[in-house]
């Protein structure tokens, strides 16, 4: 094998033979390509921003809906609590009435325990022991 057979393996032929010339036309072309690439990136960025704005508006609408549902739920909870307070108040009132009724029953039972002979019968006025049957002079 000759030495020239090893040269491609060493990478000596991978580089160009001479440096490319930088002509103004090439630089303008490169700048135009860069400009188009940046314009494309700007278009993608505008599309992304528009998509993000749509998503943000959608999220704002959902948030407003959730806030409205929360207000409705809070009002319903307040109404339910008011109904419960009213029910508890009515229960307490009925318990108080029941207690008074029990006391009245007890008082009535105690008055009925008085023996009958102790109770003096009601007499007509002319038969009353302190009634004077004679006219006053």
Span 39-54, pLDDT tens digits: 999 999 999 999 999 9
Q: How far apart are CA 17 and CA 20, in angstroms?
A: 9
What would the two tokens of residue 76 be? 């319903």
For the entire predicted model, the pTM comes to 0.45
Q: What is the pLDDT of residue 111?
A: 72
Residue 116 has pLDDT above 70, yes or no: no
Q: Is the Cβ–Cβ distance between 131 and 125 less than 8 Å?
A: yes
Q: Where are the alpha helices (DSSP H) in the chain?
A: 3-10, 24-111
Radius of gyration of the chain (CA): 55
| Backbone φ/ψ region at 11: left (φ over 0), alpha (ψ -120 to 50), beta | left
């Amino acid at each position: 094998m000759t030495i020239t057979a090893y040269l491609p393996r060493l990478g000596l032929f991978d580089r160009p033979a001479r440096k490319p010339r930088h002509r103004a036309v090439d630089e303008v072309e490169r700048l135009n390509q860069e400009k188009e690439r940046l314009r494309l990136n700007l278009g993608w960025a505008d599309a992304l921003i528009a998509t993000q704005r749509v998503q943000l508006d959608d999220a704002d609408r959902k948030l407003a809906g959730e806030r409205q549902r929360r207000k409705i739920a809070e009002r319903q909870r307040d109404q339910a609590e008011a109904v419960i307070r009213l029910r508890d108040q009515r229960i307490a009132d009925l318990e108080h009435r029941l207690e008074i009724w029990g006391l009245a029953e007890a008082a009535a039972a105690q008055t009925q325990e008085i023996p009958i002979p102790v109770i003096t019968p009601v007499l007509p006025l002319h038969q009353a022991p302190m009634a004077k049957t004679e006219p006053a002079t």
